């Protein structure tokens, strides 16, 4: 079974430029998550989708970040414009179930390492 796929793996951009990250979750997984991870720290949730609905985007900086999950499968996370402080690893994860308690395992992709110069 294929895991969570993310692209690109690495991205270097100059500040104020736009950038987009793509995620393809494990087939059949209904819930998709985007996380931000700074070096040596745990992930921080940006947004969670159940199918195509964003059910938790409270930590997403909506002035510059946007996300979509059209058709409830693939997802794209965008930053426009990027700032120096956005340099981090952006992780996508997926899990099988919907709603309820968080007992489902979240499976993570390899991440996209963003460097903003």
Partner 1 sequence: AQSVAQPEDQVNVAEGNPLTVKCTYSVSGNPYLFWYVQYPNRGLQFLLKYITGDNLVKGSYGFEAEFNKSQTSFHLKKPSALVSDSALYFCAYAGNNRKLIWGLGTSLAVNP
- Nearest distance from C-beta of residue 54 to partner 1, angstroms: 12
Handedness of CA 48, 93, 97, 2 (dihedral sign): positive
- Give 14 or 56: the residue with its C-beta nearer to partner 1: 56
- Nearest distance from C-beta of residue 16 to partner 1, angstroms: 27
The C-alpha atoms of residue 8 and residue 22 are separated, in whole angstroms, by 7
- Judged by the rule CB under 8 A, the positions of this chain that interact with partner 1 are 4, 6, 31, 40-43, 45, 48, 55-56, 91, 93, 95, 99-111, 113
The H-assigned helical ranges of the chain are: none
């Amino acid at each position: 079974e294929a895991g969570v796929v993310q692209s690109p793996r690495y991205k270097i951009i100059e500040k104020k430029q736009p950038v987009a990250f793509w995620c393809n979750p494990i087939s059949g997984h209904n819930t998709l998550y985007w996380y931000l991870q700074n070096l040596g720290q745990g992930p921080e949730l940006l947004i969670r989708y159940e199918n195509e609905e964003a059910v938790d985007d409270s930590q997403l900086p909506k002035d510059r970040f946007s996300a979509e999950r059209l058709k409830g499968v693939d997802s794209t996370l965008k930053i426009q414009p990027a700032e120096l402080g956005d340099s981090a690893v952006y992780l996508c994860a997926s899990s099988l179930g919907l709603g309820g308690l968080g007992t489902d395992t979240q499976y993570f992709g390899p991440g996209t390492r963003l460097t903003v110069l």
